[in-house]
Structure 1
C-alpha cells in the first residue's frame, strides 16, 4: 500500500486528491453519493490492510514477549504452546485474566466489503517478506524488534491515509444530509416509481 500520489489513477489517489471535495455543494446529488461510495470502499480496503498489519504486529509482539518471559519453543509442548499463544493473539477472545482486545468494535459500520482482497494480502505479505519475519521463531531478538518497527511504521501510514479517507467520506455524508435537511433532496426520490 503505497502512499497516495497526486494525480494518480488509483481510487485512493482520487479520494485524497485536491479536487475530490471541491465544489461538493454544486455537484448533482447522485455524484456526491457516488463520491461517498468511492470513499467508503477505499476506507473498507484500508481497514482490511490495517487489520492484517495489526495481526502481524501482534504475532511479533507475542514472540518478543514469549522470549522475554523465558518460554522456550521446542521440546515437550513447545509447539502447542506457541500455537495456543498465536491463536490468542489473533482472536478477540479473552486471554486468561486479560480483557478483550481494546480495539474491537471501535470502527465504523461499513456497508461494503473490502475489494481487491488478494492484492492487499500480497502487499502485506510483501511487507512481511521485506522485513524477513516469515519464521518468527528463527529470527533474532534484534531482527524481531526491527521487523516490528517496520510493520508498525507501515500500519501508521495506512492509518493516516484511512483517517483522511474518512474525512472525505464524512464531508460527502454531511453534504447529502444538508441537502435533505434544507429540502433540496427528498427521501421520495430514493423510492422506485410505481
Structure 2
C-alpha cells in the first residue's frame, strides 16, 4: 500500500486532485464489490435449489461430517483439511 503523503506539503490543487483520485478509486471498488455480491447471491441461490431438490428426493442434505465440520469451525479448530467421512 502506498504511504500517505505529508498533507502539509501539498498545495490546494494537489489535495483536490488526491481527493478526486481516491473518490474515483472508491467508486470503482464499490462497483466491483456489488458485482461480487451479485455473483455470490446467484451461487447461493443455486446451492439452495440443489439442496432443496436433494431433500425432496429423499437424500441426506446435512451429514454428520457437515455437523462436525461446523462444530470445529465454531470451536475455532477449523483447518484447511477436509474432514473425514463418518
Alignment gaps of 5+ in structure 2: 67-83
Shift of 1:152: 0.9
Shift of 1:189: 7.4
Shift of 1:193: 2.8
Partner of 2:85: 193
Tell me the TM-score normalized by structure 2.
Answer: 0.62
Matched, 1:179 2:54: no
**Aligned partners of 2:39, 2:51: CA distance in 1, in Å?**
19
Where has structure 1 moved over 4 Å in runs of 4 or more? none
**Aligned partners of 1:164, 1:190: CA distance in 2, in Å?**
33
Greater relative CO (CA pairs within 8 A, separation 6+)? 1
The total of aligned residue pairs comes to 65
Bigger radius of gyration among the two: 2
Structure 2 counterparts to residues 39-188 of structure 1, below 5 A: 121=1, 125=2, 134-183=5-54, 186-188=61-63
Query: Against the structure 1 CA distance between its residues 190 and 166, is the aligned structure 2 distance closer, same or farther, given a 3 Å change threshold?
Result: farther
Shift of 1:171: 0.8
Q: As a proportion of its length, which structure holds more helix?
A: 2
**Aligned partners of 1:189, 1:172: CA distance in 2, in Å?**
24
Alignment gaps of 5+ in structure 1: 1-120
Structure 2 counterparts to residues 12-31 of structure 1, below 5 A: none
